[in-house]
Amino acid sequence: MTVNLDTATFAGGCFWCMVKPFDTLPGIEKVVSGYTGGTVENPSYEQVKTGTTGHMEAIQILFDPELFPYEKLLELYWTQVDPTDDGGQFFDRGDNYRTAIFYHNEAQKKAAEQSKADLAVSGRFIKPIVTRILPAAPFYPAEEEHQKFYQKHPDRYKAERVESGRDAFIHETWEKR
């Protein structure tokens, strides 16, 4: 049996916090932390952190659309970010921590635009949805120490989510409603 896998790329602030929500779901083959959207080839974490490369921290997901459709990935993505914050995410500030959906084909572009429009009229947010929808750019995997950070450093991962305000935001915005 041949499985046709697809690729999705999302920027949602700190990539450490974006991997786990997607990583163990049925139909998700692989989630990679990395950098995309900038002008420097093969940037390092230290370079991207400076905010001068144009890259955003992002995750790239290899998935089976028969088991986990792209639209479901979008639904999960929105529940992990503050789509109204154009200055970064939570306590991570700067262009390298902004939100973006990078589409790999016209169907993904259309689905992303529709999901953003649906979220905008849902009444969940008062401020406008500012998450960008952009064509996929070269994606550079981050250094090994940043891959599956939640597994390698569970205490630091948990502290990052709590201290940044991400978990409180998700709870208030999605879980309490």
Q: Which domains does the chain have, with CATH numbers?
A: 6-175 (3.30.1060.10)
Q: How far apart are CA 84 and CA 99, in angstroms?
A: 9
What per-residue confidence (pLDDT) applies to 147? 96
The answer on pLDDT for 2 being more than 70 is: no
Q: Average pLDDT in the 97-111 region?
A: 98
User: How far lies 22's CA from each of 26, 59, 131, 155, 164, in Å?
Assistant: 9, 10, 19, 19, 20
Average pLDDT over the chain, rounded to an integer: 95
For the whole model, what pTM was predicted?
A: 0.95
What per-residue confidence (pLDDT) applies to 175? 82
Q: Average pLDDT in the 129-146 region?
A: 97
Q: Is 14 assigned a catalytic role?
A: yes
The catalytic position among 11, 12, 13, 14 is 14
Assess contact for 101 and 77: CB atoms under 8 A. Answer: yes
